[in-house]
Amino acid sequence: MAFGPIMRFKVSGLEIELAPVTREVLGEFVNPGMQQHSITQYIGMDSAPVIETEQEWYDKTRSAKDSLIWGIWLLEDGGRTIIGNSALEHIERGHVHQAVSGSMIFRQEYWGKGIASAAHKARTLYAFEQLGLHRIKSAVIQANGGSRKALERSGYNLVYTEHNTVFVNGQLRHQDNLECLNPNEPFWSQWFHGERPTKAQREARQRTLEALKWAHSNVELP
Ligand SMILES: CC(C)(COP(=O)(O)OP(=O)(O)OC[C@H]1O[C@@H](n2cnc3c(N)ncnc32)[C@H](O)[C@@H]1OP(=O)(O)O)[C@@H](O)C(=O)NCCC(=O)NCCS
């Protein structure tokens, strides 16, 4: 576990690699990364991390048994630059197999280019077809419209809304709890065991199948 294996894809003309984070780039996560309010406002961080915070995180992550973390790297001019991360955490293999996903692109100049949406699709492919998970859960603060859109586009669906989970930028905010269900058999039938999925769940299944189709054609898993 700990760090996820390399996956590569192209999006908006950019070459992206999902690959383990290295100790050398931890400073990037701090600055320009998570010392900026614009990056952390919707991920439940009130304080700014320093390099020691990230070093502790790195050591913990390296030996974590229940998470897989990928750095999001931009490949250019023969080198690579770290711009964010993508994660599957709290991986459980009980009666159902599931995990909680999270993402961050800390270089804002790369927002809105479809990188998170594509990374979600690659991660979903790995979660469903390599880890055999039934579901991936994700929580989004409602004001975080970009995140919500990227998740929905890759097959996530609203399960329920929790009111007033955080206070950000002068007001209380609601949190949408989403899930992405494995659309493949036997996982789909195991999840519903004879119950009829709702229309929203059937539509989300189609979006997830589309996401997996995109990932099969566009994601290289060397
Ligand atoms: C959330 C985040 C990962 C999205 O990354 P991204 O690469 O910009 O996402 P994508 O480009 O794949 O998709 C975002 C979509 O939402 C749209 N969008 C952006 N801001 C929006 C808003 N406020 N409301 C609605 N849609 C919005 C974008 O235009 C884009 O849609 P389009 O492709 O149709 O134009 C990135 O903004 C980020 O790292 N934010 C800080 C950390 C964070 O909040 N993480 C998520 C926690 S749940």
Please write down the HEC assignment for all residues of the chain: CEECCCEEEEECCEEEEEECCCHHHHHHHHHHHHCCHHHHCCCCCCCCCCHHHHHHHHHHHHCCCCCEEEEEEEEECCEEEEEEEEEEEEEEECCCEEEEEEEEECCHHHCCCCHHHHHHHHHHHHHHHCCCCCEEEEEEECCCHHHHHHHHHCCCEEEEEEEEEEEECCEEEEEEEEEEECCCCCHHHHHHCCCCCCHHHHHHHHHHHHHHHHHHHHCECC
Which residues have CB under 6 Å of ligand 1? Answer: 39, 42-43, 84, 103-105, 111-117, 140, 144-147, 149-150
CA–centroid distance, residue 114 to ligand 1 (Å): 8
| pLDDT for position 47 | 93
Contact 218, 120 (CB under 8 A): no
Task: Return the ligand 1 atom nearest residue 147 CA.
Answer: 1
CA–centroid distance, residue 111 to ligand 1 (Å): 6
Task: Return the ligand 1 atom nearest residue 106 CA.
Answer: 39
| pLDDT for position 66 | 96
CA–centroid distance, residue 115 to ligand 1 (Å): 9
The total of structural domains in the chain comes to: 1
Q: Give the closest residue (by CA) to ligand 1 atom 14.
A: 146
Task: Return the ligand 1 atom nearest residue 105 CA.
Answer: 39
Cα separation of 215 and 114, whole Å? 13
Range of the domain at 109: 2-218
CA–centroid distance, residue 137 to ligand 1 (Å): 18
Say which CATH number the domain at 47 has. Answer: 3.40.630.30
CA–centroid distance, residue 32 to ligand 1 (Å): 18
Averages of pLDDT over runs of 10 residues in the chain (222 residues) are 94 98 97 95 94 96 95 97 98 96 98 98 98 98 97 97 97 98 98 97 98 98 96
